[in-house]
Amino acid sequence: MKQRPHTINVGGKLLSLSPAVVMGIINITPDSFYAKSKVNDEESLRQRVLQIINDGGKIIDVGAYSSRPGAKNVSQEEEMTRLRHSLKIIQEASCDLPISVDTFRSDVAKMCVEEYGVNIINDISAGQLDNNMFETVARLQVPYVIMHMRGNPQTMQENTQYQDLIADMFLYFSQKINRLQDLGVNDIIIDPGFGFSKTLDQNYKLLQRLEDFREFDLPILIGVSRKSMIYKYLGGEPEDALNGTSIINTIALLKGANILRVHDVKACADAIKIIEKMNDNTTRYD
C-alpha cells in the first residue's frame, strides 16, 4: 500500500512529515528512566534545545510527568510549575521549532497552548485519564497525539492481557479517531505505545505488524528510544540501548513511521537520511 504524504498544521504553518521527522525529547522530570535525558538547570535546558536543532530535530517534545512503568504520580500543580519554568526558556532557544507537550491533563494542555503557544499535545492516555481532553484539544485546534495504553503509568504493566493485540488496538484507535473527528480535531497522530501495557514479546509483535496501522491514513509516531524492550532483550541498561534504538527506528521507517520520538536526535536523523537515499529514484550507480 502506497503511503500518502502527511502534513500537520503547527501554528498556522504546514509541517511536512514526508520524509519522516525527528521529535527530540526534553525531560524536565527528576525521575526519567534515562538519566542522561534529564535537564536540571536553565543553561542545560538551553543547550539541550540547541543540540536538538543542530542534530536535525524538527519537533521538541517536553515532558514534566514521567510515564515510565511504575513512575510516581505528580500533581497537576507540580506539572504546571515545571512547565511554566521551562517553556519560556525553550521557546526563546528553539528558533520557532514546533513544541509539543507530553501531558494527559486538559488544564495543562490549555495552559501550555494559550499561555506559551505550544503547538502539539502528546497524550499517552488518548483522553482516558481526563474526560475533558478531547473537547479541550478540539477548542485549541492543535495537532493531537493519541497513544495506546491501558490503565495509567502506575498500573499499565498489569494490563497486558489481550484477546488479539492488533485487533484490540485497532478498535481502540478507531473509536477515539471517530470521536475526535466528530469534534472537529483536524490533525490526529497515532502512537502505538511501545512499552505501554505490553509485554516484551507483544512489543515485537507490534513492531512486526506496524505497517498495518497505515490503514488509518494518519501520521504514525513511534517512541522506542532506549526502552526496556531493547535493553531487557539485548542486555544492559538504557545507556547501552542506542544501537538497538537505531535498528528499531530504521525498521519503523521502512514500515511507514512519520515521527520518531528520541533522545538521540542525530542517530535518528541519520537513519532517516539513509532511508531517503535508498528510496531516491534518481540515485545512479556507476
Is 261 considered catalytic here? yes
- Pairwise CA distance, residues 127 & 132, whole Å: 8
Q: ∠ CA(141), CA(142), CA(147), 5° rounding?
A: 120
The catalytically annotated residue of 150, 198, 226, 261 is 261
HEC profile for the chain? CCCCCCEEEECCEEEECCCCEEEEEEECCCCCCCHHHECCCHHHHHHHHHHHHHCCCCEEEEECCCCCCCCCCCCHHHHHHHHHHHHHHHHHHCCCCCEEEECCCHHHHHHHHHHHCCCEEEECCCCCCCCCHHHHHHHHCCCEEEECCCCCCCCHHHCCCCCCHHHHHHHHHHHHHHHHHHHCCCCEEEECCCCCCCCHHHHHHHHHCHHHHHHHCCCEEECCCCCHHHHHHHCCCHHHCHHHHHHHHHHHHHCCCCEEEECCHHHHHHHHHHHHHHHCCCCCCC
The catalytically annotated residue of 198, 227, 255, 284 is 227
Residues identified as active-site = 227, 261
